[in-house]
Every structure is written in structure tokens, then in C-alpha cells.
């Protein structure tokens, strides 16, 4: 199992949940300073934390995933976990300034609301183009016979794979410039603008 999927399951088992706010809200919260005291501080707000705050297994999984950053005596997670309905999704930590950062936030929630309200109840094949975390495809997976998560960003594909495993969703995750790597004859194509 992917280390991020294992970590996400451990967080879910611990009762973790986090609704991701706007970057401006995030910036205001972090500007207050201070280090993490809770799982939400570490994996939601991207606050630095002392190593003893997390169980050894969670630290080991962050390390194995290459998502642990050292800052003097403190550590920082390079991954965040956000709640979306029944899903828990891993994505890039704040701030998302790297060229290959995988975003998740209020736009994702609006996209999810749109999909939930407007997508057909039964879908043959579904392709999520520029999938990022895979949020759209994973959210609609229970309605679809097959799901493809497509992106050009290798980091997005890694997050999408981990999120499939974390949420126990079978999907084909592949590198694709728009539809170049996807299957032909898709019944529903979605993309978060």
C-alpha cells in the first residue's frame, strides 16, 4: 500500500477531518505563528511540529513518502489531507508555490458540488482530465462503470494513485496530455477549470 494511503487511513481512524479554506485564510492563520498541537495543525494548516507530536508510524510514513521536511528542531509535512464528502484526499502542503503543486481548496468544493448535482446517476466510462488529486473522478466513481484519472503532472498522478487506494476506489491513473493517454469513447469527461 502507498505510504500516503496508509497515512490517510491512520488519520481517518484517528477522527481527522479538515475543510480546506482559501489561501488568504490560510495565510492569515499561519501569520499568527506558533507550532502544531493537533493533527489538523500538521496535516490541514501545514504548521511546523515537534517530532514527538505524531506517532512514530505516521512519521515513518511521511518519511517513506518523501513528504517530511526538517526545519531545525521542528518538522513540517509537505502533504495535506482534506475532507470532501466521504473522501479524504492528499495534496500539496501550503503554500502551493511549486510549479508541480497539486491544489485543493474552495474551487474543488464548488466543482464537487456541481458534479454531485449535475452528473448523471449512472455513468458508463468517466475520464477526469487534469485530475490533480482525483477529487472529481473519485467523487463520481460510485456512479461509473470505469474511471480514468488523467494528468500531465507526475506529482498529481502520485497523489491520485494514493487517493484511490486511500478511498478504496478502482481507477486507471495515467499520464495524459488532455486525452492523449486516455481510452477512446468516454461517456463523461470532466475537468475542473
- DSSP letters of 25-80? HHHHHHHT-----SHHHHHTS---B-GGGS-HHHHHHHHHTT-EEEETTEEEESEE
Q: Do 88 and 11 share a structural domain?
A: yes
Instruction: Decide which of 47, 70, 92 is a domain's last residue.
Output: 92
Residue 25 lies in a domain: yes
Output the pLDDT for position 182: 63
Q: Do 147 and 66 share a structural domain?
A: no
Measure the CA–CA gap between 160 and 150, rounded to whole angstroms: 9
Q: Report helix angle 56-64 to 3-13, nearest 10.
A: 150
Q: Do 156 and 82 share a structural domain?
A: no
Output the pLDDT for position 184: 75
Q: Do 123 and 69 share a structural domain?
A: no
Number of domains in the chain: 2
Residue 87 lies in a domain: yes
Q: Do 78 and 117 share a structural domain?
A: no
Domain limits for position 178 = 106-190
Residue 98 lies in a domain: no
Low-confidence ranges of the chain (pLDDT < 50): none
Q: Do 87 and 19 share a structural domain?
A: yes
Instruction: Decide which of 92, 123, 152 is a domain's last residue.
Output: 92
Residue 30 lies in a domain: yes
Residue with cell 474543488: 108
Measure the CA–CA gap between 71 and 123, rounded to whole angstroms: 47
Output the pLDDT for position 114: 97
- Tell me the H-state helices in 73-186: 106-118, 135-140, 154-166
Output the pLDDT for position 52: 96
Residue 99 lies in a domain: no
Q: Do 46 and 71 share a structural domain?
A: yes
Residue 80 lies in a domain: yes
Report how far apart, in Å, the C-alpha atoms of 77 and of each of 34, 40, 112, 145, 171 are.
15, 11, 26, 35, 27
Output the pLDDT for position 167: 98
Q: Do 26 and 87 share a structural domain?
A: yes
Residue 118 lies in a domain: yes
Q: What is the pLDDT of residues 144-155, one digit of tens each?
A: 999 999 999 999
Q: Do 184 and 126 share a structural domain?
A: yes
Give backbone dihedrals phi and psi of 140, rounded to 5 degrees, phi first.
Answer: -95, 0
Measure the CA–CA gap between 3 and 47, rounded to whole angstroms: 21
Output the pLDDT for position 178: 75
Q: What is the pLDDT of residues 8-48, one digit of tens each?
A: 999 999 999 999 999 999 999 999 999 999 999 999 999 99
Q: Do 71 and 11 share a structural domain?
A: yes
Residue 111 lies in a domain: yes
Pick from 100, 102, 97: nearest CA to 162: 102
Amino acid at each position: 500500500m502507498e505510504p500516503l494511503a496508509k497515512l490517510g487511513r491512520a488519520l481517518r481512524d484517528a477522527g481527522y477531518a479538515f475543510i480546506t479554506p482559501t489561501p488568504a485564510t490560510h495565510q492569515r492563520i499561519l501569520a499568527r505563528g506558533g507550532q502544531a498541537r493537533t493533527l489538523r495543525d500538521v496535516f490541514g494548516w501545514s504548521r511546523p511540529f515537534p517530532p514527538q507530536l505524531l506517532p512514530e508510524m505516521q512519521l515513518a510514513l511521511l518519511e517513506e513518502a518523501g513528504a517530511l521536511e526538517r526545519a531545525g528542531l521542528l518538522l513540517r509535512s509537505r502533504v495535506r489531507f482534506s475532507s470532501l464528502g466521504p473522501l479524504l484526499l492528499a495534496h500539496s502542503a501550503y503554500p502551493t508555490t511549486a510549479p508541480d503543486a497539486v491544489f485543493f481548496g474552495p474551487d474543488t468544493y464548488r466543482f464537487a458540488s456541481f458534479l454531485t448535482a449535475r452528473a448523471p446517476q449512472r455513468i458508463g466510462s468517466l475520464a477526469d482530465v487534469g485530475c490533480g488529486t482525483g477529487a472529481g473522478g473519485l467523487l463520481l466513481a460510485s456512479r461509473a462503470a470505469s474511471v480514468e484519472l488523467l494528468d500531465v503532472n507526475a506529482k498529481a498522478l502520485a497523489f491520485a494513485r494514493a487517493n484511490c487506494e486511500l478511498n478504496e476506489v478502482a481507477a486507471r491513473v495515467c499520464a495524459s496530455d488532455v486525452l492523449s493517454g486516455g481510452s477512446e469513447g468516454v461517456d463523461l469527461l470532466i475537468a475542473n477549470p
